[in-house]
Amino acid sequence: MFEARLIAFYRIRTIPLTDELYQVLVRRVVKRGFVFAHPDGGHLRKSSWPWKAMRRACKAAGLRRIGWHALRHTFASELVRRGAAIRAVQLLLGHSTVQMTERYSHLAPSALQETISLLGKKQILPSREVIFGQQVGNTMENLFAEVL
């Protein structure tokens, strides 16, 4: 866990981290005494190392330049794509509403096809289903038999 002091709201948030990221941040603090703040405590300037590192990474990946804020969108989108609960993503991003998180978590074009293909997968259905309190035969199986 990592505690971050949020200057904008004068509060502290605890942020869960992967073990790997935690070690990277610890090494950075030991080496430099800070993680993302400028050594004088001010905001990062576009000429500072994180911005330069971002520009190099974008160039190496063949991407147009992006700002750091774009990584929040990527973070949210990737978590949702991997099946994370939207509420958990909301808490990780520090959003006050799920609606804001939904704006951050963009669907990849393939997500719609992946979602609809879930219906094409053969499911192991119970032998009997209960509908409106009454036991009936396997309705999905019967429906497919009638339609096909």
Angle between helices 86-93 and 69-81 (to 10 degrees): 160
148 residues of the chain, pLDDT tens digit each: 655 555 555 667 788 889 999 999 889 888 877 777 666 766 667 677 778 888 899 999 998 988 888 889 999 999 998 989 999 999 999 899 999 999 988 877 788 888 888 887 666 555 556 666 666 665 556 656 666 6
- How large is the greatest C-alpha to C-alpha distance in the chain, in angstroms? 73
CB 133 within 8 A of CB 105: no
- Closest C-alpha to 86, from 95, 119, 18, 118: 95
Domain boundaries along the sequence of the chain? 1-35, 122-147
Q: H or E element: which one contains 113? A: helix 109-117
| pTM for this model (two decimals) | 0.60
Task: Find how far residue 112's CA is from the centre of its chain.
Answer: 17
